[in-house]
Structure 1
Amino acid sequence: MTHKIPVSVLVVIHTPELEVLVMERAGQPGFWQSVTGSVDALDEPLDQAAARELFEETGIVADGRQIALRDWNLSNVYEIYPVWRHRYAPGVTRNTEHVFSVQVPRDTIITLSPREHLQYAWLPHLAAADKCFSASNAEAILQLPAFTFL
């Protein structure tokens, strides 16, 4: 087994009205989140990892025109939950997560990866933050209004 790299991306998907897409994890029912995922290689550019994860988890293509990723130039370092540490090299306990967002129309077709997610919901941003199990994901959603209107 190849170990995961402890560098990841978080992509908050939202509408112009600040409704946020949250998805329930297939492996952890009851755990809701935005798009997240690790880089595939140490040299994978973060924006490419974010676009890849966005497509893999939702079917949304960030084309740079109508649907453009926004790099918040913000990163969070957090303790990896013990239940997931076996995915990383021995002794790795912290991950650095880089935050992105993408604005989409409310009627965007969402195609979930059944391997990763059970269902999704569009929620007002405050409700979406409350639903997320990850503190860094919730905090990013709470900061969404500031990053959306810059």
Structure 2
Amino acid sequence: MATPDSSSFFYNSMLAKSLVQLLPSHEKRPLRDWFTKLNELVNTPKELELRDEYIWFILMMLQCQKIREPFDNPPPAQIGDLRDIVPAKVYEEILVANSENMTWVDKVGAEQKPAGAEGAAGAGPNEEQERKQWCAPGTFLDNQPLPQEGIICYMSTFSDQSYP
């Protein structure tokens, strides 16, 4: 069974592999080589940490559709720390390009949370009750935007596998 760390890596790699399909064909092959190389990093905890960092950065590049060095070439035989392989200018460029993608997540989370929804730690009985009411399933449809034309369709999936 996959550990939580490896399951997040596999999720991110599947997401990255699907985003690769949006790239021009000449950029796909080097990234596929990188995916193969990252899948081989399983021997030590350091290698597991490295592959998580690399797949995270590749995902960031794919989100802004900018494939930069060293990922535009096949991977080296020995993979070292990300900061040693990726030039600082490239790293900064990708982070800046993705900063707009990241800020809306923070804004949405801050706007939707009521004052007592910061977490269960230190929350009093009233704050705990407010948090439960905030995410009540019965109010789900009431909080959804309505289209001016068309219909709303929701889908649910279920699994017998438990996640932490």
Q: Do both proteins adopt the same fold according to a TM-score greater than 0.5, normalized to the shorter chain?
A: no
More strand by share: 1
TM-score under structure 1 normalisation?
0.23
**Structure having greater relative contact order (Cα 8 Å, sep ≥ 6):** 1
Give the structure with the larger helix fraction. Answer: 2
